[in-house]
Structure 1
């Protein structure tokens, strides 16, 4: 995944929806991945996505503690303190989205804001990534299902904006031609 560099927003949203499905499946089985990074995601030639490396995944129990694992740019603060929960995976997924949009690793233990890296980004997508990388776990969305719902709205908004932009461009061409 690292070799691909920044991806178009529409592709990132499509992949994020798949990531949400994966996290929802894991979390419904009480599994926390704890190492959700671009290095552990494989995008197949058919566009499907696979999350790999479950070596450090743990059962989600109240106050799960354990060894600090994962690439620091994708590890939330609570995981550095030995505590991991569903929202820890949400932080890591959003940090991965930041990488996919910018082509650079996020700063460790920070709230990620892709627009600060000078890329043009859908405001709602930028806000969602910021919320998901909050340093306070309770300020992050509680579930991958909540994120998927917002991503679906963002995807629809991006499609509508694209259609409006094309219609506007065609109108300009007709008027100037």
Structure 2
């Protein structure tokens, strides 16, 4: 999914978007703002690279961060919802994960979570943590409520490739939420099945 298609779709719906990024370090926001007319839909972004910023700026639960670290599906969900809330947007999207070259928070390189939080407070129901707590058995997408989702990815490649695939994956996840259809996430599914690095 390209950012230009999302900008057009959001503009047609009269809806806005905010972004929270960790491992992608601003690449999602840069991709969106490279599209002419993005100012009609894009509210802004928070690059919360440091763990304490996820807590202090985006409102991610501090106990959750202490217990599980920043690379976690519930952290991704709360980041997306925090961006949506803090920046006053209809939709929030988020990325968190390990781009490498070293593991982080006990997670291997290529472990990535992307999330979407949508209108009506439907970022994800309170049971999303339980639904995706067993990461090893989780494959693909986990329902996070009527208008929200978290996706667990196992990506192969170098640091740059993992970051770029994370951007593509979060944009694809948002597109699926906006249109109600799976647009296909071939590379992410393939690399997930390969088990990462």
Report the TM-score, using the length of structure 2 for normalisation: 0.33
Higher helix fraction (1 or 2): 1
Higher strand fraction (1 or 2): 2
Q: Who wins on radius of gyration, i.e. which is larger? A: 1
Report the TM-score, using the length of structure 1 for normalisation: 0.35
Greater RCO, CA 8 A, separation 6+: 1
